[in-house]
């Protein structure tokens, strides 16, 4: 059934009337995504792109039975938008919003602990289950329905990973961008777990990057699985010179050694297949699934 969202998901869009939201909601609708409601405070009772707009998430849920949301609201309103979705007990929020203050994310993560809502993002291209549901801003024309799950911490490299699965002629079950930010709603383990239990997913491509201990956490999780599906991994940032520019010194002080080489070793030791360059992913996939070679 793919993971987190499919053609049966009932999706509402928070901040639906914005310019960027409108552009992408229209494309998602054209793609066949089941968008049932929009939420923009003060614009309740109107319709936008043919979708009914409500003042609050709760009203939208009550009227339409929506169980997932895509968030396009500006960063300033982000915290209250997520807390509203949590309060309405949505199963899933996919947050496209960028530039969210980190402290707001700390508060949001605290609230998520006591809720069933899964937050993907912020600052993510979103989630797409090809031919079923597009939640976010993924360039839908590059996706092909298939059996590889993709989860990535880098927005743009997600697209690159998609192209790699296409090159192997395997396509994607669900593609998820976790978001590029300092603190994100969902880390790797939850997504890996869902892919492991998804009968439409045969293997997973995981894209990591320098900084944080996200890949280490993924390795720790994967190591404990009995007979897991194969995971092909690329970690961006080997060249290293960006570390000083983009890196967060707090990472190293709080967590020890965090070079990309180190991350790769940890992932490899956990049993994942690690490639040095992103364009090697399709080769590995073809070795794993030779019969599907076109």
Partner 1 sequence: MNIHEYQAKKILAQYGILIPEGKIAYTPLEAKNAAAEISARGPWMLKAQIQSGAREKGHFLEKRAGKDGGIRLIYRKRDILNQASQMLGATLVTTQTGPKGRVVSRIYVEAYKNVWTKFYIGLVIKRISATLTLLIAPFVSGSQNIVERAEQNPDAVLKIPVDLKKGVHKSQIRSACAFLGLSENYVTGLKKLVTGMLKAFVQTDASMIEINPAGVNRRGQIFALDAKMSFDDNAAFRHPELLKLQDDYEEEDRALKAKKFGFKYNDFDNGNVGCIVNGDGITLAAMDMLKSNGVDMVCALNVKGGVDKDKIAAGIKIIMTNPRVEGILINILGGFLRCNLIAEGIVAAASEVGVNVPLVVRFEGTNKDEAMEILQNSKLPIIIAKTMEESVDMLTSAMKEAM
Please give the residue ranges that form the binding site for partner 1 (CB under 8 A).
20, 24, 75-76, 96, 98-107, 109-110, 125, 136-139, 141-142, 152-157, 159-160, 163, 180, 182-183, 187, 207, 209-214, 217, 234, 236-239, 241-242, 245-246, 248-257, 276-279
Dihedral sign for Cα atoms in the order 51, 69, 73, 210 = negative
Residue 34 or 259: the one with the smaller Cβ distance to partner 1 is 259
Nearest approach, Cβ of 188 to partner 1 (angstroms)? 9
Nearest approach, Cβ of 209 to partner 1 (angstroms)? 5
Q: Give the tokens for residue 209.
A: 């990057």
Nearest to 58 by CA among 35, 89, 95: 89
Residue 65 or 256: the one with the smaller Cβ distance to partner 1 is 256
Nearest approach, Cβ of 19 to partner 1 (angstroms)? 8
Beta strand 133-136 pairing with 203-209: unpaired
Nearest approach, Cβ of 59 to partner 1 (angstroms)? 28
Nearest approach, Cβ of 105 to partner 1 (angstroms)? 6
Nearest approach, Cβ of 22 to partner 1 (angstroms)? 13
Residue 35 or 112: the one with the smaller Cβ distance to partner 1 is 112
Nearest approach, Cβ of 11 to partner 1 (angstroms)? 18
The residue written with tokens 């909601």 in the block is 25
Residue 126 or 146: the one with the smaller Cβ distance to partner 1 is 126
Residue 147 or 167: the one with the smaller Cβ distance to partner 1 is 167
Residue 114 or 253: the one with the smaller Cβ distance to partner 1 is 253
Question: How far is Cα 281 from Cα 285, in angstroms, rounded to an integer?
Answer: 6
Q: Give the tokens for residue 68.
A: 């997932």
The residue written with tokens 């396509």 in the block is 171
Residue 96 or 196: the one with the smaller Cβ distance to partner 1 is 96
Nearest approach, Cβ of 41 to partner 1 (angstroms)? 19
Residue 88 phi, psi (nearest 5):
-85, 5
Classify residue 225 by burial, with Cβ atoms within 10 Å: 0-12, 13-18, 19+. Answer: middle
Residue 55 or 144: the one with the smaller Cβ distance to partner 1 is 144
């Amino acid at each position: 059934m793919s993971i987190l969202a499919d053609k049966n998901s009932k999706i509402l869009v928070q901040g639906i009337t914005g310019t960027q939201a409108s552009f992408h909601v229209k494309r998602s609708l054209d793609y066949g995504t089941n968008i049932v409601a929009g939420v923009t405070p003060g614009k309740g009772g109107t319709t936008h792109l043919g979708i009914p707009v409500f003042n609050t998430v709760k009203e939208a849920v009550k009227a339409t039975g929506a169980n997932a949301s895509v968030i396009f609201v500006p960063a300033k309103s982000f915290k209250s938008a997520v807390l509203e979705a949590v309060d309405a007990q949505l199963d899933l929020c996919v947050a496209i919003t960028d530039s969210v203050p980190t402290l707001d994310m700390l508060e949001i993560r605290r609230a998520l602990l006591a809720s069933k809502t899964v937050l993907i993002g912020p600052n993510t291209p979103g989630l797409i289950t090809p031919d079923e549901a597009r939640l976010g801003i993924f360039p839908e024309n590059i996706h092909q329905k298939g059996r590889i799950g993709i989860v990535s911490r880098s927005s743009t490299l997600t697209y690159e990973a998609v192209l790699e699965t296409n090159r192997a002629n395997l396509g994607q079950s669900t593609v998820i961008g976790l978001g590029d930010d300092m603190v994100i709603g969902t880390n790797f383990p939850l997504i890996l777990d869902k892919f492991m239990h998804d009968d439409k997913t045969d293997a997973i491509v995981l894209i990591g990057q320098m900084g944080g201990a996200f890949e280490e956490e993924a390795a720790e999780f994967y190591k404990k699985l009995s007979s897991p599906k194969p995971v092909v991994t690329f970690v961006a940032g080997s060249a290293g010179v960006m570390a000083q520019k983009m890196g967060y010194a707090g990472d190293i002080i709080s967590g020890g050694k965090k070079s990309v080489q180190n991350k790769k070793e940890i992932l490899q030791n956990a049993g994942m297949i690690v490639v040095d360059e992103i364009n090697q992913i399709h080769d590995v996939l073809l070795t794993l699934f030779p019969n599907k070679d076109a």
